[in-house]
Amino acid sequence: MKKTLKEIFDALRTKNYRVVAPVRDGNKIFFTEVSSPDEITLDYVNSEIAAKEWLFPRTEVVMKFDNLATENVEISDDIENQTVETLTAIIGVRPCDVKSLLILDKVFSWDYKDAFYLNRRENTVLVTLGCSKLGDGCFCDKVALDMSSQEGSDVFLAQNGDGSFEMSVVSDKGAEIFPGEKIVPEEQKTTGDAFDKKKIKAWLDGNFEDEIWDKMALKCLSCGACAYVCPTCHCFDVIDEASISEGCRRKNWDSCGFGQFTIHASGHNPRPSQKERFRNRILHKFKYYVDKFDETACVGCGRCRKVCPVNMNLRDIVGAIEKK
């Protein structure tokens, strides 16, 4: 059915959803909580930081403790506060970011159920905006993700020429907000020119010590930019912060690109140089995740290259591995 952004926004607000949407800040786009549809920019390729941030924030408190008590220290689990997390609707999220959440669901509900992520996931509605052409640096086609894929969406929007949207309701959650005909999302179509993931994985399985890793990692500067903007990266650090009277434990984003990521208390570092760290990044996405969850952990959004100070391009790197 045909809808305007305002109609969609109002329907969500009526159902008490807080609305998160792409907002322009200078020449950057960030997913931001908005109070009016006028703040939203849907004429965009992708956000700087993936929408995952609204489910897996850059920092969050997971536990609190009283730092003054000398006995019977009270520790409160912050899960309780998180279960009452506000209902959230993310409008204008791209199919690659939606796909990334399906990928993250696996790791966050595997041996340990991450209640923080899962509670937010439960309370979040995804109003996806399909893409009509590949943006600069996007390579979802290479990882076999269709840019108009409805998989994982609750509501799906396609842009009409007149500024309105063709809206389809995809899930039950979506139907609660927009009663009406529900469509069955199409089986994931494979895109024409996709990577041969099996071939890539087979090469990765056998070439942990190949010289390609030295060469490839030479220019990498060991920062966290690629991981922090990536919609599927999910590593985090757990740290305690305290004042004299109280303290808390936080879960903060972390990146395998940092030297400190793997350092042992003894001082030994099993990934002493960028070669081992960058190799881990590729292996985690195209081998380990496949081993564990039968899925690659890259949706081809191209953000990692866009923020990389030295333009490390996963599309080319993985493409070169495929040709090996």
Partner 1 sequence: MENKLQEIAKKLLTDGEVDLVIGYGADTDRFIEPVFITKPDEAKKLLWNKKCFNNLAVYLTKDVVKHANKVGIIAKGCDIKAIVGLIQESQIDRDKVVILGISCDGVGEPLLKKCNGCDVNTPKLYDHLIGDPIESTLREDKYAEVEDFERRSGEDKKAFWDKELAKCIKCYACRAACPLCYCAKCVVEKNIPQWVPTSPHSAGNFSWNFIRSFHLTGRCVGCGECERVCPVGIPLGLINKKAALEVKSAFEYEAGYDYEVEPPLTCF
Closest CA to 34 of 84, 91, 75, 86: 91
- Per rule CB under 6 A, count of chain residues that contact ligand SF4: 25
3 conformational bin, left if phi > 0, alpha if psi -120 to 50, beta if neither: beta
14: Cβ contacts below 8 Å, ≥ 6 apart: none
In whole angstroms, the minimum distance from the beta carbon of 143 to ligand SF4 comes to: 7
CB neighbours of residue 57 within 10 Å: 15
Nearer residue to partner 1 within complex by CB, 202 or 221: 221
- How far is Cα 57 from Cα 117, in angstroms, rounded to an integer? 9
Q: Which helix (H) or strand (E) holds 226?
A: helix 225-229
Asked if residue 33 lies in contact with residue 47, where contact means CB atoms within 8 angstroms, the answer is no
Binding residue for ligand SF4 (CB under 6 A) from 20, 98, 101, 230? 230
Residue 79 as a binder of ligand SF4 (CB under 6 A): the answer is no
180 binds, among ligand SF4, partner 1, none (CB under 5 to 8 A by kind): none
According to DSSP, the β-strands at 88-93 and 18-25 are: parallel
Nearer residue to partner 1 within complex by CB, 99 or 275: 275
Residue 303 as a binder of ligand SF4 (CB under 6 A): the answer is yes
Residue 95 as a binder of ligand SF4 (CB under 6 A): the answer is no
113 binds, among partner 1, ligand SF4, none (CB under 5 to 8 A by kind): none
Give the interface with partner 1 as residue ranges (CB under 8 A). Answer: 25-28, 30, 48-49, 58-59, 136-137, 218-219, 221-225, 227-229, 237, 239, 241, 250, 252-253, 255, 258, 260, 273, 305-307, 309-311, 313
State the DSSP string of 69-91: -SSS--EEETHHHHHT---EEEE
- Burial degree of 112 (CB within 10 A; 0-12, 13-18, 19+): exposed
Mask: binding to ligand SF4, 9-48, rule CB under 6 A, as x and -? ----------------------------------------
Nearer residue to ligand SF4 within complex by CB, 69 or 221: 221
- How far is Cα 278 from Cα 269, in angstroms, rounded to an integer? 15
Binding residue for ligand SF4 (CB under 6 A) from 144, 167, 200, 226? 226
Residue 131 as a binder of ligand SF4 (CB under 6 A): the answer is no
Nearer residue to partner 1 within complex by CB, 26 or 206: 26
In whole angstroms, the minimum distance from the beta carbon of 240 to partner 1 comes to: 9
In whole angstroms, the minimum distance from the beta carbon of 307 to partner 1 comes to: 4
Binding residue for ligand SF4 (CB under 6 A) from 51, 300, 318, 321? 300
Give the rounded distance of the alpha carbon of 1 from its chain centre. 29
Residue 163 as a binder of ligand SF4 (CB under 6 A): the answer is no
Nearer residue to ligand SF4 within complex by CB, 163 or 309: 309
- The arrangement of strands across the sheet holding 59-66 comes to 75-77, 59-66, 246-253, 236-242
Binding residue for ligand SF4 (CB under 6 A) from 79, 259, 309, 320? 309
| Helical packing angle, 115-122 and 95-108, nearest 10° | 140
E-strand spans in 105-218?
124-129, 155-159, 165-169
In whole angstroms, the minimum distance from the beta carbon of 297 to ligand SF4 comes to: 7
- How far is Cα 16 from Cα 186, in angstroms, rounded to an integer? 30
Q: Could you list the residues that contact ligand SF4 (CB under 6 A)?
A: 220-223, 225-226, 229-232, 257, 285, 298-304, 307-310, 312, 314
